[in-house]
Amino acid sequence: MQCVILAGGLATRMRPLTDERPKALLPVAGRPFIDHQLEWLGRHGVTHVVMSIGYRGEMLRAHVGDGARHGLAVTYVDEGKNLRGTAGALRLALSQGALEDAFLVTYGDSFLPCDFGEVWARFRRSGLPSLMTVFRNEGLFDTSNVIFEPSDDARELRDGRLVLYDKRRATRPPADFAYIDYGLTALERRLVQSEVPEAPPSGKADLADLFHALSLRGELAGLEVRERFHEIGSPEGLEELSQWITANL
């Protein structure tokens, strides 16, 4: 099971902590964040990680190496200073032959306490070419951007119908959006090939546009995660995650 970690961003919101290092190397509960993330992935079924790096990427490569100490095989796709956006990074990985037929995608500042292996299994059972995990947010942690209709009452991972993903909430009233993108998606490689241009006019391509289009076509499965997500994109998020890891891991 392959997981792509998008970790090339400039991390401007975390300056000055990220002046000299990438966000994924910020200390969390006494260790670099990326160590916690990779250990979690290795414990939950991921075997191969593609690390999409950019800003201070050489530091991430030097720290993580080949991933063997986490029980993983880690390879790298380096955007350098020419950051291409979240979808553009996947297109670069495709062009370098780094993507398997289907794969998971998450972010280099997200810690997601869910079973990646079970998410993968639900994706494969869905019969759709993509799946998005969602969380019932009600505007709590960030702006809700998903309309989701759960179909069962499972405790941890709940299936349902993803009606719409719209990051900008431009197509339905804001009150309709109770859920948020959890930060873990699954994609078939062919979608990157057919949907993400090699050279977009702006120079960047955003996964938000791809997910919006897939949701409109009914090609984006949904899966609700009940445990909240954590992120280190803000000082508050960094402190909250440190407390959670200290208490739970």
Q: What percent of the chain has pLDDT over 70?
A: 100
Q: How confident is the model at residue 155 (pLDDT cuts 50, 70, 90)?
A: confident
| Predicted local distance difference test score (pLDDT) of residue 93 | 97
What does pTM read for this prediction? 0.95
Q: Which two tokens stand for residue 189?
A: 């490689």
- In this prediction, residues 218-236 reach a mean pLDDT of 94
Burial of 20 per CB tally in 10 Å (0-12, 13-18, 19+): exposed
| Furthest-apart CA atoms within the chain: distance in Å | 48
Has residue 10 got a pLDDT over 90? no
Q: Render pLDDT for 25-44 as a digit per residue (tens, 0 to 9).
A: 999 999 999 999 999 999 99
Note the Cα 210 to chain centre separation in Å.
14
In this predicted structure, what is the pLDDT of residue 14? 85
Residue 202 is predicted with a pLDDT of 80
Span 136-148, pLDDT tens digits: 998 888 899 999 9
Alpha helix stretches (DSSP H) within 97-223 = 116-126, 189-195, 207-216
Predicted confidence at residue 63, as pLDDT, reads 97
Tell me the average pLDDT of the chain.
94
The predicted structure's pLDDT at residue 142: 87
Q: Report which of residues 155 and 90 the model is more confident about.
A: 90
What is the pLDDT at residue 153?
76
Residue type, 127: G
